[in-house]
Amino acid sequence: MANIRIRNIQITEACDSEIIEQEQALSFHQFVQACGQNDGWVLALFEHDILQSVNTSPRQHRYLGEDLLRARRAYRLQRDFDASLTAVALMLDLIDEVHYLRKRVAD
């Protein structure tokens, strides 16, 4: 199980986060802060199957580095292409499929 620890950086009243070490899983609140978004946006990622939680609610889920990377990738796609979360979910599925196929071809 991969765990992460985050460090908050204060820059002129703005808070940004970066992954510095994989030691500790994030709570929902810490994950929301690390994403730089609000609770509703993170919950919408679950509604659109961009993130998945097995046997727990999104608020009880322990978030790992891979969840944070996927959420940040979703945000960038949404921002860069002015896409809905439905479109972002499809884009992420296609990106995952391309990575899988490239790996199979390389083997």
CATH number, domain of 46, equals: 1.10.1660.10
Q: Which residue has the tokens 């969840």?
A: 67
25/46 Cα distance (integer angstroms): 18
CA neighbor of 59 nearest in space, from 22, 30, 24: 30
CA neighbor of 30 nearest in space, from 41, 39, 40: 39
The pLDDT assigned to 18 comes to 55
74/37 Cα distance (integer angstroms): 12
Which residues form the domain of 34?
5-106
pLDDT, tens only, 72-103:
999 999 999 999 999 999 999 999 999 999 99
39/21 Cα distance (integer angstroms): 24
**How many domains, the chain?**
1
- Check if the beta carbon of residue 42 is closer than 8 Å to that of residue 35: yes
pLDDT, tens only, 20-67:
455 579 999 999 999 999 999 999 999 999 999 888 999 999 999 999
pLDDT band at 3 (very low <50, low <70, confident <90, very high): low
